[in-house]
Amino acid sequence: MKRNRTMMITFLTPALFSFGLVFIYPILRTLAMSFFYVRTVTDGWGKWEFVALANYQKLFASSMFIQSLKNILNIWLWGGLVVFAVALIFSILLTSGFKGKSFYRAAIYLPNVVSAVAMATMWIQYAFNSKYGLFHTLFSFLGMERLASFQWTSPDNQFLAMTLAYCFGMVGYYVLIFMAGIEKIPVDYYEAATLEGANLLKKFIHITLPLLRGVLRSSVVMWSVTSIGFFIWSMMFSPLDPDVGTITPMVYMYNLVFGRNLTPTDPQLLNAGAGAAVGVLLTGLTVIIFAMVNLLIRDRKLQY
């Protein structure tokens, strides 16, 4: 086909201009803002006060910011292990000739359809409540008194409760992705392996896992991005003021930029510049993870 430069420019310019306006400009402005003290996010350039790296220094001197990083690291690692393990098990079971596949696939995916706000409210008020919650009732019925009296939403267990509730909702999403990946693998390989006497585990290790490499890589990247941007569940567990067990960098940033919800924040503590620095750090973290995943899980460009 003959290339028509004028046509290309005509069609691309509006798209590139919009992209620049909506993405590039805010990114550059945020980056610049992170080196300034900016009290509120709408302050004009004239009010910005250059502070060099002071915003970053403040963040790393803040025990709550460090705590928020630890929290997302734990969500990423432990939550990731649980979600990926459970999702893989479900997807292998559902793709191995299981009856009622469509029903179970829909049922597992269902929590993703419900709004996170509704899901979190359900977990907090109806599952974790230590007097009439689901777990309390279930364990009491089974006579497991110690588990029945477990205080899910206390400061000591809040992180566990939040991660559990979050992971529950995320499994279905990855089941869909893994199932699509497994279904792309030719059945012949499995048939051949079965004829050779391979069991389910061996088929998983030697056929499924290597051929799912690309899908797994994308999934790890997606999981990392959602973990780094962890916000709604944290806000639902601690809607007024952040708690040690539930604070994440996004919540920390939100409070720096807009102030706390219940307690009026001293306006002097508001710092949209430091909020921008949190954004820059999170972007950097995402890029690092992306690079590491590409390095560790290489795509072998297998054709099948």
Partner 1 sequence: MLLALCFLFPVLPLWAGGAQEAEDAVNLVYWSMWNETEPQAMVLKSAIRDFEKLNPGVKVAIQWNGREIRKTLQPALDAGTVIDIWDEDLERIVKTWQSYAIGLDEYYGQSYPTTGGKAFGDTTMGSLQSLLRSFSTDGKIYAVPYQPMVLVAFYNKDHFAKAGIAKAPVTWDEFLSVCAKLKAAGYIPMTIDDAYMELPLGMHLNRVFGNYEAVEALAKDKTGRLWDDPRVLRTARDFETLARNGYLSPQVESNKWPAGQQEVATDQVSMYMLNGTWLPNEVKGTTGPDFPWGQFAYPVVDPAIGASAGTYGSQGFQISKKCANPDVAFALLAHLTTGKWDQEMAANTLGAPMDTGMDWPEVISDCKAVFGSLESWIPWSGGLAADTDAFPVIKAEYTRLLAGKVTAEQFVANIKAGL
Are residues 236 and 116 in contact, defined by beta-carbon separation less than 8 angstroms? yes
169, 242, 273, 275: which one binds partner 1 (CB under 8 A): 242
CB of 82 to partner 1, least distance (A): 22
Are residues 255 and 75 in contact, defined by beta-carbon separation less than 8 angstroms? no
32, 41, 122, 160: which one binds partner 1 (CB under 8 A): 41
169, 245, 275, 279: which one binds partner 1 (CB under 8 A): 245
Does 115 help bind partner 1 (rule: CB under 8 A)?
A: no
Q: How far apart are CA 162 and CA 275, in angstroms?
A: 24
124, 162, 211, 293: which one binds partner 1 (CB under 8 A): 124
Burial class (CB in 10 A: 0-12, 13-18, 19+), 217: middle
Closer to partner 1 at the Cβ: 181 or 242? 242
69, 72, 243, 289: which one binds partner 1 (CB under 8 A): 243
DSSP character string of 194-236: HHTT--HHHHIIIIIHHHTHHHHHHHHHHHHHHHHT--HHHHH
18, 96, 151, 194: which one binds partner 1 (CB under 8 A): 151
Burial class (CB in 10 A: 0-12, 13-18, 19+), 236: buried
Nearest to 262, CA basis, from 282, 242, 233 = 242
Does 57 help bind partner 1 (rule: CB under 8 A)?
A: no
Does 264 help bind partner 1 (rule: CB under 8 A)?
A: yes
130, 218, 283, 286: which one binds partner 1 (CB under 8 A): 130
Residue type, 283: T
- The enclosing H or E element of 84 equals helix 80-94
Closer to partner 1 at the Cβ: 201 or 262? 262
Q: Which stretch binds partner 1 (CB under 8 A): 4-12, 49-57, 234-242, 276-284?
A: 234-242
Q: Which stretch binds partner 1 (CB under 8 A): 24-32, 166-174, 262-270, 278-286?
A: 262-270
6, 42, 102, 115: which one binds partner 1 (CB under 8 A): 42
Q: How far apart are CA 255 and CA 275, in angstroms?
A: 8
Coil vs helix vs strand at 187: helix
Q: Which residues bind partner 1 (CB under 8 A)?
A: 40-43, 62-64, 124-125, 128-131, 149, 151-157, 237-245, 247, 255, 258-267, 269
